[in-house]
Amino acid sequence: MQDINRPERVTCRVSQAPIEGFIYGCARKMHSRRGVQVLNDEELEEIRRRKMQILMERAQAPKVSEPMANGRVNELTDANFWETLSKTKLAIVDFYGVWCSPCKTLAPMFAELAKDYEGKIFFARIDIDRNRRTTVQFGVQSVPIIIAFKDGKPIGKLPGLRPYAEYDRVLEQMVGKGSDESSYV
């Protein structure tokens, strides 16, 4: 290690211009500058490499546009309906009855759609017999009926049982991938 009080004449690595002044040690070796440890080039390169690896992993991870979209169909009630939907960006709610045969047919399709749109759209269902207040608010007279929400506000209804592809098309429009974004129904 060199004496830090002795001026030394060196050349700049980039411009090759001579530099005169106090040189605190070569950057290629671990050294101390006024009692503070300074990292060498190899350590800095390792830190840069690890940071770049973390950034690349984050970039490759799927982007979550809807934090509440957990890939499952969540059960809602009158008590938590508006509180839950106010926290979502995009949501789909299935109004169903336990006695309804088309609702039972829709349930596995709806669960599959929830898995397909995990992280993008919040999926929920609400029993019309146990949650009359919410059912009346939306004027639900027949089931199944799917209501789409954006930023906690209803934007469209899909009454009746429909094929999987039709629900998928509507959901793609909601997330902005569909060819026709003029209507959600």
Radius of gyration of the chain (CA): 30
Three-state SS string over 34-66 comes to: CCEEECCHHHHHHHHHHHHHHHHHHHHCCCCCC
Catalytic residue among 100, 126, 147, 161: 100
Would residue 12 show up in a list of annotated catalytic residues for this protein?
no
- Of these residues, 103, 126, 140, 145, which one is catalytic? 103
- Annotation says 100 is catalytic: yes
Q: Is 151 left (phi over 0), alpha (psi -120 to 50) or beta?
A: left
Beta strand 90-96 pairing with 122-127:
parallel
Report the run of H or E that residue 20 belongs to, with start and end. strand 18-21
Active site residues: 100, 103
